[in-house]
Amino acid sequence: MLGLIDVNIHLLIQNIVNGVLLGLVYALIALGLSLMFGVMGIINFAHGDFLMIAMYFSYVLALALGIEGVLTSFITVPLFVVIGVAWFYTLINRVLKADPLIQIAMTVGILMFLRNIALAIWKAEPRGLPYSALLKSITIGGITISLSRLIIAIISLAVFFALHLFLTRTKLGIAIRATAEDTETAALMGINVKLIYALTTGLSLGLVALAAALILTFTRVDPMIGTVYGLISWCIVAMAGLGTIKGIIFSGLIIGLVEALGMSLISPGARELFIYLTFILILWVRPRGLFGVR
Amino acid sequence: MIGVSRESIIKALSTRNLIIIITVAFGILPVLLGFNRYYVYLATQVVIFTSMVLAWNIIGGYAGQLDLAAAAYMGLGGAITGLLLCYYHLTPWIGMIVGALAAVGLAVAIGYPTFRYGLREVWYALSTISLVLILQRIYWLIYGTTEEYISEYIPYRWSVLYLRFDRYEPYYYLGVAILLVTLWVNITIRRSKLGYYLRAISEDEDAAEALGIDVRRYKLYALMIYAAIVGLVGGLYITTTGIITYRLFDPDYSLSVAVAGIIGGLGSIPGALIAGVILKTVEEYLRATFGAVILGLHLMIYGILLVAVSVSKPEGLAAIFTYIEKKLLKKGSG
Amino acid sequence: MDPLLKVVKVTKRFGGIVAVNKMDMDVYEGEIVGLIGPNGAGKTTLFNCITGFYKPNEGKVYFKGEDITGLPPHVICMKGIARTWQKVKPFVKMTALEAVTVGALLKYKDISKAEEVAREMLEFIGLKKINVPGRELTLIEHKFVDLARALATKPTLLLTDEVAAGLRPFEIERLIDVIKRIRDDLKITLVVVEHVMRFVMKISDRIIVMHQGSKIAEGTPEEVANDPKVIEAYLGIKAI
């Protein structure tokens, strides 16, 4: 009898650990979205699909250059920062003052384009990196932890910390926060709001590219994954509210834990259903954020 | 002389006459297509799609809610109609009604809490995306990836009772009938209290509340009407394709409907009609021509179109009609 | 005579801030009551508590003797209280005629009848451009549409929120005339929340002054203008 209980607690801890590692990655993915929404109020439905495209970029680069997936970020991150800035000046700039439905429509258009161009180029089968030096597991006290996930979780934490420092200690970061807080006053104080917006978009996509390079280590990519990651990110933003990195991290952890625990309790087929039901419940119960400052 | 002819143009374009023109145009289409089997099938799909766009106009155009759950209601209506037909040999004439009612039930079940918790804009859109995926998953859990073929259960080659025909013309005309009804519903709503209230809601919900409008209730009405039509059309759809699978619940289809509604111009009946017809026709052409080589080409183009419209001309095709209207009215009074 | 609107000890808090603090207010039928106070006095918050957009934390609001505290805004409108908006909330795609018809539909179910009532209201207000989309109207035209919309719901009580803000002197004169006719011809009681002194002093029968969430003075415009407490509240210094 005792043995049974022992196994169950074991399983529980294993799930919690998995959930935490998963949640940190989700939080990293959602970070860029939170920035764009929080600073500019832009509703980006294509967030998940940018992640998908970035993953394909990393996939192609990793195979072509024969390097570890994570290392492709050195190329993809600056690339996506530039793409973000360009995207702002060409398209976002023109819908800043438009009806939210129109803003969403623009990003949905981008979503459809990205998804189907990926489908045309790489077809529907999932692609993954065939080899990674990090695909090992370590076992501590009976709990198995995938090394890649652990390293990525640590990198995520480092990124959160770095971003926090950036937003609180650097001039540009403070300018970004000021613009998010009160655009008019920021403009009056000499902050070039349009430039801030452009840089925020760039930063947002840069973070997405980084996350993409990281998760490619243990996940495969197909043209359709944008939906799930987009929904997860929006749910995290919904729960976290605006204005805090901590909120994003906590919300990410909650989602990660819900998924990990749900996975073990329910059959794998029902897992996605469980996630989507949780999404709707979160949207109903807390559309204004659990942790947000604003 | 010129004034007279402009006035007569305006009179000629009255709603009643336009509807007659549309009816006749759709009515003789199969003749124009030479009763070609494939083209009539395409025309049927175009008519079905356009009905959904017109229905979407009620929730998206009038009420201003970005609803991306059309596939949920259509899939539900279609699945119920199809499965009742296969397993219980229930005539689709009744099955479609049941499907529509089920869609309304779903709309109320989802809409009531959604509107009660004040989900707007992005949050509303997200909840509708989730809805499609939830239904898809539930169907998949119950039936897996099995494909039910209606032809296996209903062996007749020509049955009005079971809506089985070996030509597509009957389906086409049934689709046209539903399209005309949907058109009529749209026009009636626009000139009714519901229509005025919905437009006020889409402009500014707070101002609408302060004018005595129960915003939640009216949004729900719009959602129910839209879901009923889409559910009904889903039933017709399933009888034309004859296959019931979880792929009925296709998020891309929802997106296409909303895209057409937006490109047509939110709240514009002619815009929705024309956008639906053109986009679906182009889509089917692209699918037939390039489908094997470039998957999803039509969706790529939809995406580009949507970006272009939202960035430069958010009023969509409706801008053209407003322009024409202005030109006609201006000179007439001047 | 019982007051038409009775506000009893209404309190509204936002987090740690008390925006409205045990506020009392009586409004009698047929009067025009001006509600003034320096910025942050809580006027708009009280306004929203009465019209149902906020739920008071404490206190009650009575209208025609009935407890309407915390009812949703559309129900309050149905009961006979209409409002205008400080930040004008125009219907930009609908024409003025359509916008006011929306208001009229509350009491007149038939579209043609409602449209007729809408035309009457727009004529009463004096707006000519009734068939152009809202986005082509100027600020004062928007304010007039806002008023006409609210009046079309046939209210007993009309609350206006800083309706004179941003208007030029001749426009304010026109507004004064309209407000007076609302009271005299349409027999509607008015509570006017205002910042523009010239306007509110001229039209109010009685003025209530709010400061930091509570009532600090009440009386005729002359009495209130000379009240040392009021002067102190506005200027922040004691009157000599």
Among residues of chain B, what percentage have pLDDT more than 90?
39
- Report the amino acid identity of residue B13: L
B126 and A99 in contact by Cβ < 8 A?
no
Residue of C nearest to B203 (CA): C91
- pLDDT higher than 80, residue B268: yes
All residues of chain A having their beta carbon less than 8 Å from the beta carbon of residue B246 are none
Amino acid A3: pLDDT: 54
Residue of C nearest to B188 (CA): C111
Domain boundaries, chain A: 2-285
If one compares B318 and C157, the residue with the highest pLDDT of the two is C157
CA–CA distances in Å: residue C29 to residues C25, C124, C155, C212: 13, 21, 12, 27
The span from the CA of B16 to the CA of A259, in Å, is: 56
**Number of CB pairs < 8 Å for A and B?**
137
- Using pLDDT thresholds of 50, 70 and 90, give the confidence band for residue B333: very low
- Using pLDDT thresholds of 50, 70 and 90, give the confidence band for residue B189: very high
Among the listed ranges A228-237, B105-114, B231-240, C228-237, which one has the minimum average pLDDT value?
C228-237
Residue A198's CB is within 10 A of a number of other CB atoms, namely 20
> Is A243 strand, coil or helix?
coil
Quote the minimal CA–CA distance from C62 to chain B in Å. 18
Distance from the first to the final alpha carbon of chain A: 50
Q: Does C135 touch chain B (CB under 8 A)?
A: no
- Cα-to-chain-centroid distance, residue A245: 13
Token pair for A225: 């994954």
Pick A112's closest partner by Cβ from B66, B133, B299: B299
pLDDT tens, residue by residue, C67-88:
999 999 999 999 999 999 988 8
Q: List the single best residue of B295, B310, B315 to mutate versus A (max A Cβ within 10 A).
A: B310
All residues of chain B having their beta carbon less than 8 Å from the beta carbon of residue A114 are 303
* A2-285 CATH choice from 1.10.20, 3.40.50, 3.30.70, 1.10.3470: 1.10.3470
- pLDDT higher than 90, residue C191: yes
Pick B197's closest partner by Cβ from C52, C105, C153: C105
Strand ranges in chain B using DSSP code E only, listed in sequence order: 148-149, 243-244
- Using pLDDT thresholds of 50, 70 and 90, give the confidence band for residue C33: very high
Pick B141's closest partner by Cβ from A117, A273, A277: A273
Tell me the mean pLDDT in the region B274-295. 82
The span from the CA of A8 to the CA of A261, in Å, is: 12
C91 and B200 in contact by Cβ < 8 A?
yes
The span from the CA of C20 to the CA of C35, in Å, is: 13
Q: Would you tell me which residues 182-201 of chain B have a C-beta closer than 8 angstroms to some C-beta of chain A?
A: none
Quote the minimal CA–CA distance from C82 to chain B in Å. 7
Residue of C nearest to B189 (CA): C111
- Report the amino acid identity of residue B7: E
Amino acid A178: pLDDT: 82
DSSP-assigned letter for residue B164: B
Q: Does C83 touch chain B (CB under 8 A)?
A: yes
Positions in chain A whose pLDDT score sits under 50: 1, 290-294
Q: What is the dihedral of CA B311, B316, B321, B325, to 10 degrees?
A: -40
Task: Mark C116-140 as b/e (b = at least 16 C-beta within 10 Å).
Answer: ebbbebbebbebeebeebbeebeeb
Ramachandran category for residue C52: left, alpha or beta (phi over 0 → left; psi -120 to 50 → alpha):
left
Pick A279's closest partner by Cβ from B64, B130, B305: B130
Residue of A nearest to B261 (CA): A105
Token pair for A268: 């794998």
- Cα-to-chain-centroid distance, residue B228: 11
C78 and B203 in contact by Cβ < 8 A?
no
Amino acid B1: pLDDT: 46
Q: What is the spatial order of strands in the sheet that C157-161 belongs to?
A: C81-83, C157-161, C189-193, C32-36, C206-211, C214-219
Quote the minimal CA–CA distance from A119 to chain B in Å. 6
Amino acid A209: pLDDT: 95
Task: Mark C39-54 as b/e (b = at least 16 C-beta within 10 Å).
Answer: eebbbbbbbbbbbbbb
- Using pLDDT thresholds of 50, 70 and 90, give the confidence band for residue C16: confident
Q: State the burial class of residue B237 (Cβ atoms within 10 Å of its Cβ: 0-12, 13-18, 19+).
A: buried
Pick B207's closest partner by Cβ from C52, C72, C89: C89
- What subunits make at least 3 CB pairs under 8 angstroms with A? B
A272 and B137 in contact by Cβ < 8 A?
yes
All residues of chain B having their beta carbon less than 8 Å from the beta carbon of residue C158 are none
- pLDDT higher than 80, residue B334: no
Amino acid A293: pLDDT: 40
Pick C73's closest partner by Cβ from B199, B203, B210: B210
Q: Does C101 touch chain B (CB under 8 A)?
A: yes
Q: List the single best residue of C47, C86, C105 to mutate versus B (max B Cβ within 10 A).
A: C105
Give residues with Cβ within 8 angstroms of B289, minimum separation 6: none
- pLDDT higher than 90, residue B75: yes
Give bridge partners of residue A138 from the DSSP assignment.
Answer: A145
A32 close to A208: Cβ distance less than 8 angstroms? yes
Q: What is the dihedral of CA C110, C113, C114, C117, to 10 degrees?
A: -160
Token pair for C175: 């507004």
pLDDT tens, residue by residue, B28-70:
888 877 878 888 888 999 999 999 999 999 999 888 888 999 9
Q: List the single best residue of A44, A99, A112 to mutate versus B (max B Cβ within 10 A).
A: A112
Token pair for B232: 């009904």
Pick C106's closest partner by Cβ from B204, B206, B211: B211
The span from the CA of B248 to the CA of B83, in Å, is: 13
B213 and C74 in contact by Cβ < 8 A?
yes
- Using pLDDT thresholds of 50, 70 and 90, give the confidence band for residue B322: confident
Pick C93's closest partner by Cβ from B197, B203, B208: B203
Quote the minimal CA–CA distance from B38 to chain A in Å. 26
Q: List the single best residue of A99, A110, A284, A286 to mutate versus B (max B Cβ within 10 A).
A: A284
Token pair for A108: 């949905």
Residue with tokens 């009440």: C218
Tell me the mean pLDDT in the region C196-220. 89
Q: Are strands C206-211 and C5-14 parallel, antiparallel or unpaired?
A: unpaired
Q: Are strands C58-63 and C17-27 parallel, antiparallel or unpaired?
A: unpaired
DSSP-assigned letter for residue B235: H
The span from the CA of A209 to the CA of C148, in Å, is: 53
B200 and C74 in contact by Cβ < 8 A?
no
Whether the predicted model's global pTM rises above the 0.95 cut? no
A283 and B130 in contact by Cβ < 8 A?
yes
3-state DSSP helix/strand/coil % of chain A, to nearest 5? 75, 5, 20
The span from the CA of B268 to the CA of B315, in Å, is: 9
Length of chain B: 334
Quote the minimal CA–CA distance from B198 to chain C in Å. 10
B148 close to A246: Cβ distance less than 8 angstroms? no
Give bridge partners of residue C8 from the DSSP assignment.
Answer: C60
The span from the CA of A28 to the CA of A210, in Å, is: 9
Residue among A158, A146, A111, A178 at smallest CA distance from A21:
A146
Residue of B nearest to C50 (CA): B210
The span from the CA of A248 to the CA of B231, in Å, is: 38
Residue of B nearest to C101 (CA): B196
Q: List the single best residue of B127, B137, B298 to mutate versus A (max A Cβ within 10 A).
A: B137
Q: Does C82 touch chain B (CB under 8 A)?
A: yes
Token pair for B110: 């989802």
Residue of A nearest to B314 (CA): A102
pLDDT tens, residue by residue, C121-170:
999 998 888 888 888 888 888 999 999 999 999 999 999 998 888 888 88
Amino acid B192: pLDDT: 92
Residue of A nearest to B312 (CA): A94
C77 and B212 in contact by Cβ < 8 A?
yes
